[in-house]
Amino acid sequence: MLHDYIELGHTGEHIASIGLGTWGIGGLAHPAVDSDDAWVKAIREGIEAGMTVIDTAEFYGNGHTEELVGKAISNLERGAVFLISKIWYSHLSADSVIKAADSSLSRLGTSYIDLYLIHWPSQNVPLKETLGAMERLIDMGKVRYIGVSNFDVELLGDAMTSLSRHEIVANEVKYNILERDVERELLSFCKKESISIVAYTPLAKGSLAKDEKLKEIGMRYGKSAAQVALNWLISHKGVMAIPKAVNQIHIKENAGAMGWRLSEGDIMSIDKLFPLPYSGPGED
């Protein structure tokens, strides 16, 4: 098992820098996996490889993904994994938050969720109402930490000021070498406020695994293009990644992105090879 951690916010708790994404598990057909047992096996293999953070959501597979995660961790001590789950935007009223959390806990087969996120912001329910209910979940012992997903700087600031007793510790956003919009404002804001970034779609849906420029850099480390792409992400302070994999080879490959770091020179080279697109006057 590889060991490579980041601190979650400024909680003092350290979690694996690369975890397991579960979008599509148990909900969408995949040619490499044809049964729930195969999905459970894949999750367990990821945990055994050191990816002990599992990211899921009530929306995934209409709840079935959480059930599969629950089955995968049922033979483990609860503290061996760090569970992230998310509330769908239609469940953000105070009562719905509590009910949604209870349903997720039941499907996951656990008494608490480590990190509970608002999946997408809502224009219909005030943030203060949603986050007040999430704070109640912490007070009830059903959730340990709270955060958000897909929030920009303005919304993140609103969320921070909407809390009275606890803090936002993470923001889950799309982030990879090809999609670097978070670097315009969000990344520096989160660093300043000690809010961790959880990067989803970190391999740009697999396209980075085939990139010849990343393969060339990886050869100097004995690593693949995908491992270089993941390591580039976690080389940023306060950033962790949650790739999804369905077979043992890719699971081990993702885990192999931990335990080492690209040189500063190679990070700069990657930044130049995949520049952040200009966004100036006249652009949408």
Strand arrangement of the beta sheet that strand 196-200 belongs to: 20-21, 53-55, 82-87, 113-118, 143-149, 168-174, 196-200, 239-241
**Angle, helix 64-73 to helix 94-108, in steps of 10 degrees:** 40
At 140 the three-state DSSP class reads coil
Q: Using an 8 Å Cβ cutoff, are 131 and 159 in contact?
A: yes
Which residue among the candidates 60, 116, 145, 175 is catalytic per the annotation?
60
Listed residue (201, 267, 204, 198) closest to 239, CA to CA: 198
| Cα 267 from Cα 272, distance rounded (Å) | 9
Is 60 assigned a catalytic role? yes
Alpha-helical (H) ranges within 49-125 are 64-73, 94-108
- 144 membership: H or E segment, kind and range: strand 143-149
Q: Which residues belong to the active site?
A: 60
